[in-house]
Amino acid sequence: MSWRREKAVFGTIIRNDGGKTLGIAGDVPVIEQDGFAFKDLARTGKLLPYEDWRLTPEERAEDLAGRLSREEIAGLMLYSSHQIVPFVSRPPFADTYGGEAFDPAKHGDADLTDGQISMLKKDHIRHVLQMRVKNARVSAQWSNNLQQVCEAEPWGIPVNISTDPRHGASEGGAEFRTKGSDVSKWPEGIGLAAAGGAELVREFARTAAKEYRALGITTALGPQIDLSTEPRWMRLEDTLGSDPEKVIPLVKAYCDGMQTTEGSPDGWGTDSVITMVKHWPGGGTGEGGRDAHYAYGCFAVYPGGRFEQHMRPFTEGGFRLDGPTKKAGAVMPYYTVSWLADHEKVGNSYNEYILKDLLREKYAYDGVVCTDWGITGDPDPEIDSFGSRCYGVNRLTEAERHLRIIMNGVDQFGGNNRAEPVLEAWRIGEEKFGADLMDRRMRLSAKRLLTGIFRVGLFENPYLDPEESERIVGCAEFVKAGLEAQAKSVVSLRKGGLPLKKGIKVWIPEREIAAHKNFVRMMEPAQTLDPLGGRDISGWCVRTEDPAQADAAVVFMESPLSDPYDPADRKAGGNGYRPLTLQYRPYTAKEAREVSIGGGDFREDFTNRSYRGKTNRCCNEADLDNLEKARKEMGGKPVIVVMHMHNPTVPGEWEGLADGILVHFGCGLSVIMDILFGNREAGGRLPYNLPEDMAAVEQHNEDDIEGPEPYVCRDGTVWKTGYRCQA
């Protein structure tokens, strides 16, 4: 016998000499064949092909896909809604434990909720999106608990846990941020682009993959490889840039770094994390900078005729990797309606041309295709809402929407915990296309989905040692690398007054944010924010509340935050649309299009979404007030700006008021303070043009990769892509 049993914290480890290591938590029988041990997950007493780890993932997946019931296949095609560990009963996310709200005196942090148990056992869901988790130990324990439930189910199909990006150093962002897993912190995507070089991106991806696997995570919902050609887009910060020639090498480094297990013939293995590149065919061209999470921002436009350029990060990057895994394991289409001549104006997952003709046939992508989250439900009655994404197909039933998506080549439905509409779609498809065709079509999706789970080794051992997870996640080596990358991403636009002298008195004004709608379109009240968040900076300087006593001022700013839709304007007889602005003071869109390119919604009795002549203002205009006050109060003493630049920002209002200027794209306070006081160097270069003015932004086509006309400073310096201050 060339295998042996060992005790483990979760149950039993079986080590095959010259073969795969098996992990078992419950009473799964073991089959011995040819001197090796195999799990009898089906409890048949015979070694079935899918249980034989000597076969390829594709062979095993095809065997298991042929054995599954309709209900089990439908479950594989579901991707869970956002899961919080432990689940707290606060909207919009809530669940219960034995019918009760989470109570730390009664429930363990890693306990499974009623909804989680139900989705595993009743709906056969095996792809779970973890949003937030308390810490690494809890994540590992929770993963083990999920896997133990699945191990006892027929076929023993393990859970593939996924995550949105969680390594970014930003405190907030344009989507739900994952928190609380103790991972190392790195720049956001555009910050990685600012830091420059594929090797840094590869280092990040390898580090993130190690931490993800220690958390139980085996799929990353990323990287986000949309070209960021529209400077007002709220998701620009998560991209890798706007120039495909620069973005493509970063995409390859990211996907190769995450997916590759060194020493594996096909690159896949126990160190691999599946990447889901997004968002096909590129989501960065929303008209006027609006985003397709919302019906008022659903149209992606290509006035410059650059549609093909926006596909290149996928077709020449994610689908053509240099490493042994060859291509990203999954791809996600965006919500957008791609406004293309002679093609139907429906959301991308519903668009036969975008998915079937291009993705599946022309570019021959044969991996998993997963919809973005929540696109199949019925639309909300109001256009200013968070849940209205069945663009162009609102008259179809929910099941008919599922069928249309399936027949376009999609395998999975993001954020859908219910199997009923998938099963009903299967039934309708049999009536339209025949039982044999639909059976082959659904089992093909099952095979694709199972292949990924086999590739990352979950069928052999899905279990973790929580203590080992604690040692790996957020270890000193990874944290140090992340901090160094953050410093490399910070861009010095001007060095006047820098570095500051250690121990001086510094005035740091609080920030005032006006009431505004948040990501889920709920009102956030006005608030006062301390840029330091209560953190101690005595290791660098003395903070004073009195600017008259200060030796310097450091003004923390955020790029202008504005809202492109106003229900009050609609009620007053307007169309509701207003300009997104990249300047702090009120902006009137005199240069905007008179007639919008995209338009048309069943809740609107017009098609022109133009905002020409309308005025908008950002909710953080007080950031500029702070800077003006600092300049007045400091006189000739240094005034330093530290700007978190989510989007390119018009500098004309503020650059002349500052002696030193640092911009960052997700960076921790300690790194910023080290740069301010000379302990670290800002090593980044601008990843985009800072626009000359808002007229330049309006005149710039949403799909043009060159960027709007760059700003020229009073000293003649041009703040364009690649710039950093050398003096």
Q: Please indicate, yes or no, if residue 484 is contained in any of the structural domains.
A: no
Residue 359: phi and psi, rounded to 5, are -65, -50
Nearest to 289 by CA among 558, 562, 691, 602: 562
Q: In a 3-state reduction of DSSP, which class is residue 141? A: helix
Residues 270 and 248 in one domain: yes
* Percent of the chain at pLDDT exceeding 70: 98
Residue 1 in this model has a pLDDT that exceeds 50:
yes
Domain of residue 251, residue span = 55-472
pLDDT tens digits, 154-190: 999 999 999 999 998 875 444 444 555 689 999 999 9
d(CA 597, CA 611): 12
Q: Please indicate, yes or no, if residue 271 is contained in any of the structural domains.
A: yes
Q: Output the pLDDT for position 387.
A: 81
Per-residue confidence band for 90, with pLDDT thresholds at 50, 70 and 90? low
Torsion of CA 255, 476, 22, 52, to 10 degrees: 10
Q: Please indicate, yes or no, if residue 483 is contained in any of the structural domains.
A: no
Q: What CATH number has the domain bearing residue 284?
A: 3.20.20.300
Instruction: Specify the amino acid at residue 22.
Output: L
Task: Give, to the nearest 10 degrees, the angle between helix 198-215 and helix 244-259.
Answer: 30
DSSP per-residue codes, 605-662: S------TT-EE--TTTHHHHHHHHHHHHHTTS-EEEEEE-SS---GGGTGGG-SEEE
- The reply to whether omega before 91 is within 30° of 0 (cis) is no
Tally of domains in the chain: 3
Q: Is the pTM for the entire model greater than 0.85?
A: yes
Residues 536 and 593 in one domain: yes
Residue 404 in this model has a pLDDT that exceeds 60:
yes
Nearest to 9 by CA among 108, 107, 133, 140: 140
Q: Structure tokens of 265?
A: 């013939």
DSSP class of 90? B
Task: Characterise 364 by phi-psi region: left (phi > 0), alpha (psi -120 to 50), beta (else).
Answer: left
DSSP class of 718? E
Q: Please indicate, yes or no, if residue 562 is contained in any of the structural domains.
A: yes
Which ranges constitute the DSSP H helices of 38-127?
A: 57-65, 70-76, 114-121
Q: Output the pLDDT for position 93.
A: 74
Which carries the bigger pLDDT value, residue 508 or residue 417?
A: 508
- The reply to whether omega before 167 is within 30° of 0 (cis) is no
Q: Please indicate, yes or no, if residue 602 is contained in any of the structural domains.
A: yes
Domain boundary among 443, 472, 501: 472
Residues 34 and 84 in one domain: no
Residues 184 and 319 in one domain: yes
Residues 32 and 178 in one domain: no
Q: What CATH number has the domain bearing residue 641?
A: 3.40.50
Nearest to 555 by CA among 497, 516, 501, 483: 497
Q: Output the pLDDT for position 388.
A: 79
Nearest to 110 by CA among 221, 9, 5: 9
Residues 148 and 95 in one domain: yes
Mean pLDDT confidence for 528-536: 95
Residues 190 and 281 in one domain: yes
Q: In a 3-state reduction of DSSP, which class is residue 127? A: strand
- ∠ Cα 193 199 201 (to 5°): 45
pLDDT tens digits, 266-315: 999 999 999 999 999 999 999 999 999 999 999 999 999 999 999 999 99
Residues 269 and 340 in one domain: yes
Residue 654 in this model has a pLDDT that exceeds 80:
yes
Domain boundary among 445, 472, 499: 472
The single residue listed with the structure tokens 């990447």 is 275
How big is the chain by its Cα radius of gyration, in Å?
Answer: 26
Q: Which of 82-96, 498-512, 634-648 has the weakest average pLDDT? A: 82-96
- Give the strand pairing for 505-507 and 511-513: unpaired
Q: In a 3-state reduction of DSSP, which class is residue 601? A: coil
- Give the strand pairing for 274-280 and 217-220: parallel
Q: Output the pLDDT for position 645.
A: 97
Q: Please indicate, yes or no, if residue 673 is contained in any of the structural domains.
A: yes
Q: Please indicate, yes or no, if residue 299 is contained in any of the structural domains.
A: yes
DSSP per-residue codes, 525-536: PPEEE-TTTT--
Residues 515 and 401 in one domain: no
DSSP per-residue codes, 348-416: GGG-HIIIIIIIIIIS---SEEBPPTT-SSPPPSSSSSSS---TT-TTS-HHHHHHHHHHTT--BEET-
Residue 88 in this model has a pLDDT that exceeds 90:
no
pLDDT tens digits, 454-507: 999 999 999 999 999 999 999 999 999 999 999 999 999 999 999 999 999 999
Q: What burial letters (b/e) apply to 573-589, b meaning 16+ CB within 10 Å?
A: eebbbbbbbbbbeebeb
Per-residue confidence band for 91, with pLDDT thresholds at 50, 70 and 90? low
Q: 660-664: long-range contacts (C-beta < 8 A, 24 or more apart)?
A: 660/492, 660/494, 660/495, 660/496, 660/497, 660/498, 661/492, 661/493, 661/494, 662/490, 662/491, 662/492, 662/493, 663/490, 663/491, 663/493, 664/187, 664/191, 664/486, 664/489, 664/490, 664/491
Q: Output the pLDDT for position 726.
A: 86
The single residue listed with the structure tokens 């006006």 is 514
Q: Which residues pair with 211 in a beta bridge?
A: none
Task: Give, to the nearest 10 degrees, the angle between helix 435-455 and helix 57-65.
Answer: 140
Q: Are 296 and 565 in contact (CB under 8 A)?
A: yes
Q: Please indicate, yes or no, if residue 372 is contained in any of the structural domains.
A: yes
Domain boundary among 30, 49, 68: 49
Which segments of 74-135 are extended strands (E)?
Answer: 78-79, 82-85, 127-133
- Give the strand pairing for 337-338 and 587-588: unpaired
Residues 88 and 142 in one domain: yes
d(CA 640, CA 626): 12
Cα 401 to the center of its chain, rounded Å: 25
Q: Output the pLDDT for position 33.
A: 95
Q: Output the pLDDT for position 94.
A: 83
Q: Output the pLDDT for position 658.
A: 97
Q: Are 180 and 88 in contact (CB under 8 A)?
A: no
Q: How many CB atoms lie within 10 A of CB 85?
A: 24
d(CA 52, CA 61): 11
Residues 12 and 60 in one domain: no
Residue 329 in this model has a pLDDT that exceeds 80:
yes
DSSP class of 249? H
Mean pLDDT of the chain: 96
Residues 599 and 706 in one domain: yes
Q: Output the pLDDT for position 92.
A: 67
Instruction: Specify the amino acid at residue 393.
Output: V
Residue 45 in this model has a pLDDT that exceeds 50:
yes
Q: How many residues does the chain have?
A: 727
Query: Which residues 6+ apart lie within 8 Å of 523 measured at CB?
Result: 515, 516, 517
